Amino acid sequence: MPQKQKSNNIDMVNGPLFGNIIRYAIPLMLTGVLQLLFNAADLVVVGRYCGRLSIAAVGATGAIINLIINLFIGLSVGVGVTVAVSLGAQDDDRCSRAVHTAMPVAVIGGAVLTVVGVLISRTLLSWMQTPDDVIGLSALYMRIYFCGMIPSLVFNYGAAILRAAGDTKHPLYYLVTAGIINVVLNLFFVIVLKRNVDGVALATILSQCVSAFLIVRFLLRTEGAYKLVFRKMHIYGSELKQIVKIGLPAGIQSSMFSISNVIIQSSINSFGSVAMAGNSAAANIEGFTFIAMNAIHQTGMNFVGQNVGAQRLDRARRVTKDVMFDVFVTGLVLGGLSYLFSHQLLSIYIPGDASAIAYGRLRMKYLCLPYFLDGMMDVMTGVLRGLGSSLLPMIITVFNICVFRVVWIYTIWQVPRFHNLDMLYITYPISWILTLSLLLICYFITMRRKSREFKSAETRLAESDL
């Protein structure tokens, strides 16, 4: 017998849709914003107490770190969708197998990432043309950071399981706890112990261990279908296949994003450490808008996934309309406000550095104002994954985001009159428009195909009852 849904979880299949979407998305937004605030603490602390080179060093690692870890983080998308569809179909056994497959994959993936990250960090930084005055600090930060990959993946996979079940509050609570610890340790290591980027990296690892412990403890104590039992941990073939089917394209897509961002970052690096510092601060500020939009992306994906599992395709369509409207408004408002107050916000990271602030404002002009396009693109990708289609969105996105940007950089951007940061940053909104247009077409085709599948299944069931 399927277990009754816990009262503190949001019912995605029944009840008022708009209200449930908001209740689900707000803790996700707060989780993401707080995570960025705590990550920003790394930049703010090193920027104020260690100097511009340190903030450039930490900022230069972001694209590479994402390049290496996004393949395994993408698998958490597959975990979430598999759990959501199982719960929507009230298939507790399949849900349990997915949970007990996800955790071993997280541990194995984290171990692999630790080895790879420690071994090749400096090599990748060299390929990115990281300046000599920055590369030593960047390599040090990355090597320490990658030692925390196992707890990082355990938390991400555990959070994906809880969110698929309708619980977005507990990941928020655990992140707040770990984030406060991160900030306190940042200040302790840098101010008291006089450490540099190694101090903030170590603080990050320790806080990740706390968040992983808390989420595993909750999964061990829950009574839902997604309860974790250590002795049941096993990689089940059918569930792994489904996780990989959805998650691998998501991971490849994210990794390809990171490749294009690595190339863009290396292009920015060629303008020197001042441009790098301004770009790093601006990217961190933009992240707050992105995180809010990404919360809506995850909401759409999990709501659609559960309703597909319950064969409520009409409700899945309504979910799509609601989340697309929500992300449009969120991106337009937050992106516009970020640019409006860009000088004041950048000054928090790089106080008194007018040149670096100017570089940061240039980036924000091209990215913050049209940022709602990126949000709509991501939401549509999440909806398609909830519908069970992950490969085609990956192909569309990789081609129109990654390939387009790389081709632009190595052709148009190489022309002397276009070899400036304006022509580099403008690739973002152009690629968002191209990708969103094709994803919308893909959505309508996928929805029609899914509708035919459900009707065929209903017909076969009716014939078998005769």
Pick from 62-66, 281-285, 313-317: least confident: 62-66
Measured CA to CA, the distance from residue 133 to residue 54 in angstroms comes to 10
Question: Among 11, 29, 3, 2, which residue's Cα sits nearest to residue 333?
Answer: 29
For 348-393, the pLDDT digits (tens) are 888 878 899 999 999 999 999 999 999 999 999 999 998 988 888 8
Q: What is the mean pLDDT of the chain?
A: 87
For 220-230, the pLDDT digits (tens) are 999 888 999 99
Pick from 260-269, 308-317, 454-463: least confident: 454-463
Prediction pTM value:
0.76
- Higher confidence at residue 373 or residue 54? 373
First-residue to last-residue Cα distance in the chain: 26
Scored b (16 or more CB within 10 A) or e, 292-313 reads bbbbbbbbbbbbbbbbbbbbbb
With a CB cutoff of 8 Å and minimum separation 6, the contacts of 73 are 153, 156, 251, 254
For 6-26, the pLDDT digits (tens) are 456 788 888 888 888 888 888
Predicted pLDDT of residue 462? 59
Question: Among 77, 32, 25, 2, which residue's Cα sits nearest to residue 305?
Answer: 77
What percent of the chain lies above the pLDDT cut of 90? Answer: 41
Predicted pLDDT of residue 458? 65
Predicted pLDDT of residue 417? 84
Predicted pLDDT of residue 219? 95
Q: Is 354 exposed, middle or buried (0-12, 13-18, 19+ CB in 10 A)?
A: exposed
Position 43 pLDDT exceeds 80: no
Measured CA to CA, the distance from residue 304 to residue 313 in angstroms comes to 8
With a CB cutoff of 8 Å and minimum separation 6, the contacts of 259 are 67, 402, 406
Measured CA to CA, the distance from residue 158 to residue 219 in angstroms comes to 8
